[in-house]
């Protein structure tokens, strides 16, 4: 059997090419030498799934061998990765290996965002063909050696003269010969995103995904397949992160021989894609990582990778401006004068940017009108936007503004002029979300019209930042302007349109900071992060609920992509009251900002804000670029929630603890700080004591017992000479 082996610094991925042209998945895990086909066994498998060229050999079954990319019709009855049909709709494929090649660098995926890398990045491309369908399948692997990441994507080309049909095409599929696994996945809803759930993978399909047109609050397109005994600091685990922001599926199950298969990619619901002669279809990319040392290490691989090989642009590695956003301060109830008042306070406190949220355009406010008309409401603003922005900028602040480009209200000039630009189904009343409809971004003329309106605003007011919102899911996947098969292609084409739109924006404004937003975390994924180096993590700004949300996010995404703000108390979403120090400690674990009426603060609160800004400015590098450690889990219902950042050279660490449960006469909580040099001594700024790295890593420090809940503690450790 010919072997194709991909090595990163600490991992090995091996594929076997059978003499019959089948591709077998032999191994993915810790770096190793050798021929892993020695792990294969061939016992009698009931004469099922025997390829014709093995006629009579009941030990050769496509249904039990580990497949690299299983196709429906090949004799593998498990969950397949590809289902294709010929022009008359007859499904069934038989792709066989033709060739493969390694090359330096990494190619882009036409129309889709993907990871990038220059130095030390290689690729491998495997080509298979199907004689009946006259199609060519390309499996592409990106090899990020230092980063320990392997990317996968797939394309299929119709090489014949007849149309073909694609009914399912996953970005990756992988089989494990042995092992008991659990799927760690992240579910949620609006205001309550990224709950961590652990589901054992047994003999039924564990399946998560989205059919909402966006990746969604309900399931995040990032999962971990972990061996049963895996924890933060030990055990084997695999990460799968989909670089895509639309409908998706991630599925895992054990087969009849207790082998585990996992797959990720486009959802096959509402997917029925005609592939014209000579056309090529491209799947989104997945980012695969493996850790032999538990979940912390796996997360750290993703943190660095998303920061360095997914995020782009000027703001990729630098500190983003500390901002104040007027949404929770005023909602729709503001005037230009009120905005300038808030900005004046902001400048005085040391805040660096003012962001004008929803409500500044068309007839907007309340929220059932105006979307689609990106023309300044000068009556409300008391003048031109430019005059307000000039006042704000003269205070020394940068200026940011909110858009929701993909949406339209029926009550808007845009909709009245172009009702067919919205996604609705002829003859059926549309389903609404926040009284709005989704614009048909699969159509270039629609994107062009919105782009022209947006750029007119950005250009005329010299905007430094935009927040791009998207507040409802897609329900009616029908385009009025389609020159292609509508059903089964719209959701994919819509996403390509959204990406083209973002591509254009980022090319035209390379220095503009863009924050992705979708009612909070509804489109929080590595796809959007290729354009927006930060994403509003949740519309829930309560510090305590955010602990759980930001804990979930930390498994697959770095702190530097999280948008997180201090808001007023009682909190507007759940009524909880927390101290401003607690709100600051949580908001600082992200892109720090404020979202409250600064003109209503007490003198003491203002002093604290000045101190917070100085504090964040001092520590942001450690927070955003340090190694991140989860020191407690909300799943354990502890008395506290804790996490720490340790500098890569292990000379300093910052430990944050929030108490979440109070009990009378309670035992003392010892909180660990991880990632330190165990042989070194560290001095703590707050306690004034010195501790050995060994003690901090294994026992931790005692937490003061303070009555009441939700107190924040911060400990900064510095290595002693
Ligand atoms: C939803 C966002 O998540 C909020 O931050 C805010 O921008 C509103 N939309 C405005 O409508």
Give, as one character, the DSSP assignment of residue 367: T
Among 239, 301, 248, 351, smallest CA distance to 616 is for 351
Which of 355, 358, 400 for mutating ligand 1's site (highest number of atoms within 8 Å of CB)?
358
Per-residue pLDDT tens digits for 586-641 = 999 999 999 999 999 999 999 999 999 999 999 999 999 999 999 999 888 789 99
Which ligand 1 atom minimizes the distance to the CA of 467?
A: 7
Angle of CA points 578, 581, 585, to nearest 5°: 105
| Burial annotation 231-264 (CB, 10 A radius, 16+ → b, else e) | ebeebbbbbbbbbbbbbbbbbbbbbeeebbbbbb
E strand residue ranges, 465-614: 465-468, 513-516, 534-536, 562-567, 591-595
Indicate if the pLDDT at residue 433 is higher than 80: yes
CA 467 to ligand 1 centroid distance, Å = 9
Q: What residues are in contact with ligand 1 under a 6 Å CB criterion? A: 327, 357-358, 402, 469, 471, 517, 519-520, 536, 539
Contact 562, 587 (CB under 8 A): no
Gap between the Cα atoms of 663 and 459, Å rounded: 56
For 564-600, write each residue's pLDDT tens digit: 999 999 999 999 999 999 999 999 999 999 999 999 9
Residue from 287, 294, 5 nearest 149 by CA? 287
Distance, C-alpha 478 to centroid of its chain: 27
331 Cα–ligand 1 center, Å? 9
Rounded to an integer, the average pLDDT of 183-210 is 98
Q: Which atom of ligand 1 is nearest to the CA of 520?
A: 3
Q: Mutation test of ligand 1: which of 189, 217, 323, 402 has the most ligand atoms closer than 8 Å to its C-beta?
A: 402
- For a mutational test of ligand 1's pocket, the pick from 364, 517, 524, i.e. the residue with the most ligand atoms closer than 8 A to its C-beta, is 517
In angstroms, what is the span from residue 638 Cα to ligand 1's centroid? 32
Within 8 A by CB and 6+ apart from 626, the residues are 645, 646, 647, 648, 653, 654
Residues 6+ apart with CB under 8 A from 328: 541, 565, 567, 568, 572, 595, 596
Mean pLDDT of 74-86: 96
Mean model confidence pLDDT for the chain: 97
CA of 469 to the centre of ligand 1 (A): 7
Q: Which ligand 1 atom minimizes the distance to the CA of 517?
A: 3
Residue closest via CA to ligand 1's atom 3 equals 519
3-state class (DSSP) for residue 377: coil
Band of residue 119 on the pLDDT scale cut at 50, 70, 90: confident
Closest CA to ligand 1's atom 1: 519
Three-state DSSP string of 431-480: CCECCEEEECCCCHHHHHHHHHHHHHHHHHHCCCEEEECCCCCCCCCCCC
Q: Inform me whether the pLDDT recorded for 428 exceeds 80.
A: yes
Q: What is the largest CA-CA distance in the chain?
A: 86
The answer to whether the beta carbons of residues 96 and 74 sit under 8 Å apart is no
State the distance from the centre of ligand 1 to the C-alpha of 489, rounded, in angstroms. 29
The confidence band for 47, taking pLDDT boundaries of 50, 70 and 90, is confident
User: 178: which 2 tokens?
Assistant: 């042995």
CA 266 and chain centroid, separation: 15
pLDDT at residue 483, as a whole number: 72
Q: E-strand spans in 596-671?
A: 627-630, 640-646, 652-659, 670-671
- Name the burial class of residue 506, with classes exposed (0-12), middle (13-18) and buried (19+) by CB atoms within 10 angstroms of its CB: middle
Nearest atom in ligand 1 to the alpha carbon of residue 536 is 3
**What's the CA-to-centroid distance between 626 and ligand 1, angstroms?**
30
The number of the ligand 1 atom at minimal distance from the alpha carbon of 518 is 3
pTM summary value: 0.98
| Tokens describing residue 136 | 């060519």
pLDDT of residue 7: 98
- What positions carry a catalytic annotation? 525, 605
Atom of ligand 1 nearest to the CA of 434: 11
What is the separation, in whole angstroms, between the first and last Cα of the chain? Answer: 56
Entry field: residues in the chain: 721
| CA of 112 relative to ligand 1 center, distance in Å | 26
The pLDDT-based confidence of 125 (bands split at 50, 70, 90) is very high
Distance 192 CA to ligand 1 centre (A): 15
Query: Closest Cα partner for 590 from 303, 347, 358?
Result: 303
Q: Classify 316 in phi/psi space as left (phi over 0), alpha (psi -120 to 50) or beta.
A: alpha
β pairing state of 670-671 and 323-325: unpaired
- pLDDT above 90: residue 90: yes
Residues 254 and 68: their CA atoms lie apart, in Å, by: 16
For residue 367, give the ligand 1 atom closest to its CA: 11
Percentage with pLDDT > 70 across the chain: 100
pLDDT grade, residue 399 (50/70/90)?
very high
Cis status, amide bond into 50, omega within 30 of 0: no
Q: How confident is the model at residue 98 (pLDDT cuts 50, 70, 90)?
A: very high
For 528: left if phi > 0, alpha if psi spans -120 to 50, otherwise beta; the answer is alpha
pLDDT of residue 254: 98
Question: How far out from the chain centre does Cα 395 lie?
Answer: 35
- Token digits of residue 427: 């003859």
Report the residue among 193, 366, 520, 539 best suited for mutation to probe ligand 1: largest number of ligand atoms under 8 A from its CB.
539
Does residue 523 have a pLDDT over 90? yes
**C-alpha span between 557 and 568 (Å, rounded):** 27
Which residue puts its alpha carbon closest to atom 10 of ligand 1? Answer: 358
Å from CA of 612 to ligand 1 middle: 25
Q: Please tell me the number of Cα atoms within 13 Å of 98 on its side-chain side.
A: 13
Q: Which protein residue has the closest C-alpha to ligand 1 atom 5?
A: 539
Chain segment 345-380, per-residue pLDDT in tens: 999 999 999 999 999 999 999 999 999 999 999 999
Burial of 318 by CB count in 10 Å (0-12 exposed, 13-18 middle, 19+ buried)? middle
Q: How much is the average pLDDT of 646-670? A: 95
């Amino acid at each position: 059997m010919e072997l194709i082996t991909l090595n990163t610094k600490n991992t090995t991925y091996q594929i076997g090419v059978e003499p019959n042209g089948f591709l077998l998945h032999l191994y993915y895990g810790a770096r190793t030498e050798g021929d892993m086909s020695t792990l294969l066994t061939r016992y009698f498998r009931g004469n099922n799934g025997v390829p014709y060229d093995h006629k009579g050999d009941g030990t050769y079954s496509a249904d039990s061998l580990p497949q690299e990319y299983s196709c429906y019709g090949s004799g593998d009855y498990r969950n397949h990765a590809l289902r294709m049909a010929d022009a008359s709709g007859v499904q069934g494929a038989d792709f066989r290996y033709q060739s493969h090649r390694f090359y330096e660098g990494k190619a882009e995926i036409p129309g889709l965002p993907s990871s990038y890398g220059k130095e030390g990045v290689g690729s491998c491309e495997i080509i298979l063909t199907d004689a009946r369908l006259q199609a060519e399948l390309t499996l592409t692997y990106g090899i990020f050696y230092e980063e320990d990441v392997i990317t996968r994507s797939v394309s299929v080309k119709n090489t014949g003269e007849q149309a073909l049909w694609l009914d399912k095409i996953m970005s990756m599929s992988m089989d494990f010969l042995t092992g008991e696994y659990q799927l760690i996945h992240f579910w949620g809803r609006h205001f309550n995103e990224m709950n961590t759930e652990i589901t054992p993978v047994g003999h039924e399909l564990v399946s998560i995904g989205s059919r909402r047109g966006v990746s969604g609050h309900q399931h995040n397109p990032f999962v971990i397949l972990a061996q049963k005994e895996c924890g933060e600091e030990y055990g084997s685990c695999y990460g799968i992160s989909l670089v895509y922001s639309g409908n998706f599926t991630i599925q895992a199950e054990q087969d009849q021989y207790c082998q585990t298969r996992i797959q990720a990619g486009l959802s096959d619901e509402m997917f029925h894609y005609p592939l014209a002669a000579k056309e090529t279809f491209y799947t989104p990319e997945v980012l695969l990582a493996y850790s032999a040392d538990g979940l912390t290490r796996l997360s750290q691989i993703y943190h660095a990778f998303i920061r360095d090989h997914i995020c782009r642009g000027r703001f990729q590695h630098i500190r983003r401006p500390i901002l104040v956003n007027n949404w929770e301060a005023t909602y729709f109830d503001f005037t230009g004068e009120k905005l300038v008042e808030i900005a004046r306070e902001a400048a005085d406190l040391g805040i660096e940017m003012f962001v004008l949220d929803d409500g500044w355009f068309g007839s907007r406010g309340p929220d059932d009108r105006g979307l689609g008309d990106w023309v300044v409401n000068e009556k409300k603003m008391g003048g031109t936007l430019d005059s307000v922005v000039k006042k704000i900028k003269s205070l020394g602040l940068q200026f940011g503004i909110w858009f929701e480009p993909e949406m339209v209200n029926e009550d808007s000039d845009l909709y009245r002029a172009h009702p067919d630009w919205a996604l609705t189904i002829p003859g059926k009343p549309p389903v609404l979300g926040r009284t709005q409809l989704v614009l048909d971004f699969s159509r270039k003329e629609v994107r062009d019209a919105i782009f022209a309106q947006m750029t007119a605003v950005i250009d005329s007011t010299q905007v430094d930042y935009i927040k791009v919102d998207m507040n409802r899911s897609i329900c009616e996947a029908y385009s009025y302007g389609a020159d292609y098969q509508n059903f089964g292609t719209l959701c994919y084409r819509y996403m390509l349109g959204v990406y083209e739109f973002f591509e254009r924006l980022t090319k035209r404004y390379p220095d503009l900071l863009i924050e992705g937003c979708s009612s909070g975390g509804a489109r929080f994924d590595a796809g959007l992060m290729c354009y927006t180096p930060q994403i509003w993590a949740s519309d829930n700004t309560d510090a305590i609920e955010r602990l759980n949300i930001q804990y979930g996010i930390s498994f697959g995404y770095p702190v530097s992509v999280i948008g997180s703000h201090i808001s007023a108390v009682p909190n507007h979403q759940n009524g909880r009251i927390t101290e401003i120090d607690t709100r600051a400690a949580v908001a600082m674990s992200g892109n720090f900002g404020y979202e409250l009426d600064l003109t209503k603060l007490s003198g003491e609160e203002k002093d604290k804000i000045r101190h917070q800004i100085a504090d964040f400015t001092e520590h942001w590098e450690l927070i955003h670029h340090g190694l991140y450690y989860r020191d407690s889990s909300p799943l354990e219902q502890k008395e506290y929630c804790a996490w720490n950042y340790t500098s890569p050279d292990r000379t300093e660490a910052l430990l944050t603890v929030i108490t979440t449960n109070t009990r009378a006469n309670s035992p003392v909580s010892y909180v660990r700080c991880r990632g330190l040099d165990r042989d070194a001594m560290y001095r703590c700024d707050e306690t004034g004591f010195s501790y050995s790295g060994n003690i901090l890593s294994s026992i931790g420090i005692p937490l003061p017992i303070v009555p009441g809940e939700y107190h924040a503690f911060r400990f900064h450790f510095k290595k002693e000479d």
